[in-house]
Structures are given as C-alpha cells and as structure tokens.
Amino acid sequence: MDSKKIKQLVDLATAAQVNAHAPYSGFNVGAAILSKTTHTYSGCNVENVAYPLGQCAEATAIGNMVCNGDKAIAAIVITSPTEDLCFPCGGCRQKIAEFSDESTQVIMTSKDGKMQTLSMAELLPYAFSNNTPTS
C-alpha cells in the first residue's frame, strides 16, 4: 500500500481517537479501515462502567464498515495514545480476521510516529475461519 493511503488511514484513525469515550482507562484508541472496495471507515473505543460492555476501536470501525455494506478489509490502522504501539486485543484480532485474508495489512502507530505493519497471518496465525475444522 502506498504511503499516501497509509497517511490517510492514520489521519482518519487519529481523528476518531479524539472522540473516544475512555473515562475509566484514559486510553483513547482510534482505528481506520480501508475496505477492498477502497472505501474508508473509522472508529474509536467506547468504554462502559460495566467493563465487558465496552467496545474497542477496531470493533467500532468494523461495525461502521459492515453497516455501510462492505465486508472485506484490505488494511486497518490502529492508533495508540502513547509512545508504545497498540496491538489489537485477542477478540479484535479475531474480529479483524472475520473480514480479512492472510495478506490483510494491520498497521499499528504510536503517538510519536512509530509504525509497525504485520499481515493478518503474522498477527493471528491460527485464526478461526470458515475453513477451520471444528472437530
């Protein structure tokens, strides 16, 4: 993916991050998706005092993508509010995998501009899929 498209996704994720609702952790995260149809979607984390009811930024972005009729992720950017990269949690890795293939790019960025890109296969090598045997 070209650097211009990555910058656009980082900018979208950073803008979404500003709107995060994170009063309990203070850890505002943003995410932005480039779908395989070349549309973009963003999301932020939304915490809830009943902890399991919150939603990660990646899940919000995926929900926005699906709500708009897209079902395939080409790339996703996750922005961290600190100097450390913010890798997706286990649940979000599986949520991303649901709408990805092994080559989908997962790009983590930090507040100070660090960036790391992994393929979905590198991030979650044994993801459940429609092709995963159940027995």
CATH of the domain at 45: 3.40.140.10
The catalytic residue among 47, 58, 83, 102 is: 58
Give the range of the structural domain holding residue 12, as residue numbers without chain letter: 3-123
Residue range 64-101, pLDDT digits in tens: 999 999 999 999 999 999 999 999 999 999 999 999 99
Q: Is residue 135 part of a domain?
A: no
Helix (H) or strand (E) holding 4: helix 3-18
Decide if 68 contacts 34 (C-beta within 8 A).
no
52: which DSSP letter? G
Indicate whether 85 belongs to any domain. Answer: yes
Domain-located, residue 131: no
Q: Which residues contact 89 (CB under 8 A, 6 or more apart)?
A: 56
Q: Let me know if residue 47 belongs to a domain.
A: yes
Look at the pTM and tell me if it is higher than 0.85. Answer: yes
123 closest CA partner among 71, 83, 88, 77: 88
Yes or no: say if 70 and 59 are a contact pair by the CB < 8 Å rule: no
pLDDT in tens, 10-59: 999 999 999 999 999 999 999 999 999 999 999 999 999 998 899 999 99
102 in active site: no
